[in-house]
Chains A and B, each alone.
Chain A
Amino acid sequence: MIRIENVTKTYGTDVVALRDASFDVPKGEFVFLVGPSGSGKSTLLRLLNRQDRPERGAVWVAGRNIIDMPSGRVPQLRRNIGNIFQDYKLLLNKTVAENVAFAQEVIGKPKHVIRQQVPAVLDLVGLAGKEDRFPHQLSGGEQQRVSVARAFVNRPLIMLADEPTGNLDPATGEGIMRLLDRINKTGTTVLMATHDQRIVNTMRKRVIQLDRGVIVRDQARGVYE
């Protein structure tokens, strides 16, 4: 599903965010990206949905090398990828349901599909009954659930999560992890960057560790260390 080949990404002349990184993620796998701050985790995730391009190497997503993909095809690529962020990135002037529906409206999904799928996905993430609330009327955990719902509503092949539990207390973070685990069990490939040792150690999924842009460990059923 995802294959990174000898990828090097630099910012400016001296910051090397990724150095000769290679790995392979089959469909349906769950992968943690760990490593100290500034080691290149977010950079790696940004390469996967073409928010950035590496100087060297190849990035394969769903069978296509997306580095030289014409920019006209990028929207199609991104419709297959869900994104979750530490700061949720919800639209504050829209309700819960509108935030989720937005992800379908802007890619031209018909109204009747939206009317049917939005409640279903809100139910899945445990937000049934809170459709008409605004983000500021929700707890942090609930807001992150909205963003998971938004990322998942179009049934992406891949889910990219950049420290989704970074702003949450442990119990709430665990709730989000159970949700991501369920999404993963539907066949969605999940890549998650995190600093959360407890989560990594309890979930026992594959762990890829970065240090100053270099992959220093790639371990099945790994721990944080």
Chain B
Amino acid sequence: MISRLAYTFRETWASFRRNMTLTVAAIITSAVSLLIFGLTLLMQRGFDNLLVKWEGGVEMIVFVGSNANDEQRAEITNALDAQKPNLIESYRYCDVECSLDEADRVLAGDPGVLELLTAENVPTQFKVVPTDATDVDTLRLLRESLREAPGVQNIALAVEELDTIAKLKGFVGLYTLILSIVLLIAAVLLIWNTIRTAMFARRREIEVMKLVGATDWFIRVPFMLEGLIHGLLGSLGACAGLWLVNNRWTAGVQDFPDNSGFEAMVVPGSFTGVVMLGLLGIGMLAGAIGSGIAASRFLDV
């Protein structure tokens, strides 16, 4: 068992050194592809943060001041009910707890502001789903009529806040995803080719091994290990890159103007950690499986 392990690692290392150029190319390609894939996930998450308060067809949010009393809230409810079903299809009240939860996500990049929010001072929200979301003029009129109601602090319309964001998300998300998949395929092909070259260089040994009765798995495992290490090194590179980019972004966002809205696009460290683990998993799996298939395919040399 020990000698077998020693054998495996010796062979893997020797093959690694023999194919330096191809190996490095395979590792760099897998690193870049996984990095782009990871960035796509982080960006999506950032956009989702921006969009989270508008989930479920909500087009208008009525923010209610924390000092409003029950009577004032009832009045707003009545005003909204009066427009059902002609203008308003439905609405949902997001209470103190719900609003704090949402702030946790939206303001992740702005811990200073987040800390100032408490159950006493957080504005609550009426989330309004209009009957016809495309009729912007009517929505604006509705806002005017509600603005003067007592207790209302502010009214936000989705069209004004996130039209560009939603478009940007669709565009960026799709193209970076395609790019990362194309690159990942390139990485697997490169690993495949590296393994093929490695096996060709050792075809005589493989022939002898087969003749004296080594099992296919015994022959295959060092090559799979090699592919797994390529994938691992590539994904480690991707993780380092991701960490760097995310750190620069988180730090950079603090310098943006206060109302840019970008602070919502900061992704919490825990999510970044999950993405990194995912990249490591994909990298190692793609490397091991790719080289395993390549090894089986060329075992007849």
A interface, CB within 8 angstroms of B: 49, 71-72, 74-79, 83, 89, 91, 102-103, 105-108, 110-111, 150, 154
CB distance from A197 to the nearest CB of B (A): 28
**Beta-carbon contacts under 8 Å, B57-113 to A:** none
Query: Is A78 within 8 A of B4, CB to CB?
Result: no
Main secondary structure of the interface of A (DSSP, over half): helix
Select which of B2, B210, B218 is within 8 A of A78 by beta carbon.
B210
Query: Once the chains are docked, how many angstroms separate the CA of A106 from the CA of B204?
Result: 14
**Beta-carbon contacts under 8 Å, B127-153 to A:** none
Q: Is B164 an interface residue (CB 8 A)?
A: no
Residue of A nearest to B211 (CB): A83
- Chain A residues with Cβ below 8 Å from B301 are none
Query: Is A89 within 8 A of B212, CB to CB?
Result: no
Select which of A71, A72, A106, A110 is within 8 A of B212 by beta carbon.
A106
Residue of A nearest to B1 (CB): A108
- Chain B residues with Cβ below 8 Å from A78 are 210-213
Query: Is B4 within 8 A of A108, CB to CB?
Result: yes
CB distance from A125 to the nearest CB of B (A): 16
When A and B form their complex, which 3 residue pairs have the shortest distance between CB atoms, in order from nearest?
A79-B213, A78-B213, A106-B214
Query: Is B4 within 8 A of A107, CB to CB?
Result: no
Query: Is B3 within 8 A of A106, CB to CB?
Result: no
> Provided the pairs A108-B4, A110-B3, A111-B3 are in contact, do residues A102 and B208 lie with their beta carbons within 8 angstroms?
yes
CB distance from B188 to the nearest CB of A (A): 26
A and B contact pairs by CB, cutoff 8 A, 9 listed: A49-B211, A75-B213, A75-B214, A75-B216, A79-B213, A89-B207, A91-B208, A107-B214, A108-B4
- Chain A residues with Cβ below 8 Å from B213 are 74-79, 106-107, 154
Query: Is A106 within 8 A of B211, CB to CB?
Result: no
From A49, A74, A77, A106, name the one whose CB has the most chain B CB atoms within 10 angstroms.
A106
Known A76-B213, A102-B212; 17 more pairs at CB < 8 Å: A74-B213, A75-B214, A75-B215, A79-B213, A83-B211, A89-B204, A89-B207, A89-B211, A91-B204, A102-B205, A103-B208, A106-B212, A106-B213, A106-B218, A107-B213, A108-B4, A111-B3
CB distance from A178 to the nearest CB of B (A): 24
Query: Once the chains are docked, how many angstroms separate the CA of A111 from the CA of B4?
Result: 10
Q: Is B13 an interface residue (CB 8 A)?
A: no
